[in-house]
Amino acid sequence: MDVSVTGAYIYFTIPIFGGINITQTVVSLFLVSLILAVAGIVIGRNLSIRPGKLQALVEKLILMLRGLLVDTMGEHNAHWLPYIATIFLSSIFGSYIGLTGFLRSATADVNVVLVWAIMTSVIIAYHNIKNGGFVSWIKNYLNPLNIVGDVAQPISMGFRHFGNVAGGGIITTILYAALSVASTLLLNAISGTIVIPIIMIVLGAALFVWGLKSEKKKLLKKIVGIVFAVLAVFGILQYTAILVDVPILQFGIPAVFSVYFDLFSGFIQAFVFTLLNMVYISGACPPPEENN
Amino acid sequence: MGFEELLGVNPFTAIFTLLNTIALFAVLKHFLFKPIEKVMEQRQAEVDRIYDDAETAKADAEASKAAYDEKLAHAKEEAVDIIKAAQERADRLGDEIVSDAKAKADDMIKRADAEIAQERKKAVNELKNEISVISLGIAEKMLDREINEGDHEELINRFIEEMGEDDE
């Protein structure tokens, strides 16, 4: 089984500046930004003092994010909400766009998340210079540990996000490959003789009928019956060499893993990335009274 | 076409990401967050105003209720006072009328009594005179001679008086 782990697919290359690759990442990120921007404009245009359902939901989400932001960064940093929200929304939708199947998660490209992390680093540096002056900012780097720290910060942030999303994708790829192999093994085992599939099909039908009639565990009996019958059908197909090596196990099972690797992990990474952004920026933007 | 490296650095993707993110940030900030903030502020202001209005209205209502209660209590007292005064006046007036009537009646009775007495006296006197004249006439006729009025008047009067005493 050949499993290759690659980066984003390159759709085409614009032949200027030594070749600009238009990759899946670029398309994904552009689509995410476009959808978010259009949604933002549409919602922002139809605001009213007495909100509809959509506006109430959006306001609730914004207030939740604002609450988190104020808890983390303090009320004086509430004006960071649009930036933090942009990063959060781009991150979570950039991860979730991989669920469409034909587009790759934008956050599975190290170039994207690293740029977001560096943007935050630049913001921090800007505020440090603004608050303490350029000289004290430069003096800070006389200690080489600070250089290491400030370089490591965006790298660790970016690679954490990239690694989790890309890792989820890699594991999904490996899972598909493994399930394909497992399907072949299973089908070969079933279709050694024609007897086994026939027994299984009878057994499956019996289980299904029993599930229809019995009082308890109806659904379980029906599902097991159907699974047996379907396995048997593919076993017969394999035996008769009409359809060979159908990766039947790839049906259903990856969805369970996808809940964790795509939905849960995507949300958690977006949340963690945003939270780290908040913490680092709030470190560079102390409350006004401490400024003086 | 081909695939990129999993960990490949692509400066154009990075630049694109930067521009994209900045653009999205600008759009969201300008078209979503600012209007939403504004709307929320407006709503807050409206809510505050409604609450203020409600509080004012409540205070007004309470004040007018207190005034009403006071007036009502006052009106009750007044009514009791008026009734009391009216009753007193009626009592007094009744007493006056009764005593007036009594006095008048007494007066009338007294006057009537006096009149009666006077009338009686007058009648008695007239009767006396008449009787004396009549008896003189009778006596004249009986004696067939003129009785000296002066001689016998005393005698006659005594006779009449005796008669009057019998009369009574």
Ramachandran angles phi, psi of B65, nearest 5°: -65, -45
Number of domains in chain B: 1
- DSSP secondary structure, chain A, as one string: --------BEEEEE-STT-EEEEHHHHHHHHHHHHHHHHHHHHHHT--SS--HHHHHHHHHHHHHHHHHHHHH-GGGGGGHHHHHHHHHHHHHHHHGGGGSSS--GGGSHHHHHHHHHHHHHHHHHHHHHHH-HHHHHHHTTSHHHHHHHHHHHHHHHHHHHHHHHHHHHHHHHHHHHHHHHHHHHHHHHTTSSHHHHHHHHHHHHHHHHHHH-SSSHHHHHHHHHHHHHHHHHHHHHHTTSS----GGGTTHHHHHHIIIIIIHHHHHHHHHHHHHHHHHHHHS--HHHH-
* Partner B contacted by A270 (CB < 8 A): no
CB-CB: which of A40, A116, A166 is closest to B28? A40
Biggest CA pair distance of chain B: 197
* Partner B contacted by A91 (CB < 8 A): no
| Domain residue ranges in chain A | 10-181+251-291
- Chain B residues near residue A59 by CB distance under 8 angstroms: 36, 40
- Ranges of H-type helices in chain B: 11-27, 34-143, 149-167
Position B165 confidence tier, pLDDT thresholds 50, 70, 90: low
Q: Residue holding tokens 């540096």?
A: A125
Q: In this structure, are residues A62 and B33 in contact, taking their beta carbons and an 8 Å threshold? A: yes
Structural domain includes residue B132: no
* Partner B contacted by A278 (CB < 8 A): no
- Chain A residues near residue B27 by CB distance under 8 angstroms: 37, 40-41
- Listed by number, the residues of chain A in 145-174 with a beta carbon closer than 8 Å to a beta carbon of chain B are 166
Q: Tell me the residue range of the domain where B24 lies.
A: 9-121
Alpha-carbon distances, residue A181 vs A155, A235, A264 (angstroms): 37, 15, 27
Structural domain includes residue B74: yes
Work out the angle at residue A159's Cα, subtended by the Cα atoms of residues A154 and A161, and round it to the nearest 5 degrees: 100
- Which of A70, A86, A114 to mutate against chain B (most B CBs within 10 Å)? A86
Task: Identify the CA nearest to A280 among candidates A112, A150, A161, A139.
Answer: A150
Structural domain includes residue B35: yes
Structural domain includes residue B42: yes
- Chain B residues near residue A81 by CB distance under 8 angstroms: 33
The tokens describing A278, both together, are: 């908040």
CB-CB: which of A21, A82, A114 is closest to B12? A21
Q: Per-residue pLDDT for chain A (292 aa), expressed as one digit of tens each?
A: 567 777 777 777 777 777 777 788 888 889 999 999 999 999 888 888 778 888 889 889 999 999 999 988 888 888 889 999 999 999 999 888 888 878 888 888 888 899 999 999 999 999 888 888 888 888 888 888 888 988 999 999 999 999 888 888 888 888 888 888 888 888 878 777 778 888 888 888 888 888 878 777 778 888 888 888 888 888 888 777 777 777 777 788 888 888 888 888 889 999 999 999 999 988 888 887 654 4
CB-CB: which of A29, A40, A48 is closest to B17? A29
CA distance A52 to A269: 31
Hey, what long-range contacts does B17-22 have (CB within 8 A, 24 or more apart)?
A: B17/A29, B17/A111, B17/A112, B17/A115, B17/A116, B18/A115, B18/A119, B20/A29, B20/A30, B20/A33, B21/A33, B21/A86, B21/A87, B21/A90, B21/A115, B21/A116, B21/A119
Q: In this structure, are residues A219 and A282 in contact, taking their beta carbons and an 8 Å threshold? A: no
Closest chain A residue to the Cα of B14, Cα to Cα: A111
Per-residue pLDDT tens over the stretch B104-138: 999 999 999 999 999 999 999 988 888 888 888 88
pLDDT of residue B65: 94
- Listed by number, the residues of chain A in 194-223 with a beta carbon closer than 8 Å to a beta carbon of chain B are none
pLDDT of residue B148: 62
Structural domain includes residue B117: yes
CA distance A222 to A204: 8
Helix (H, G, I), strand (E, B) or coil at B148: coil
Does the interface ipTM go beyond 0.90?
A: no
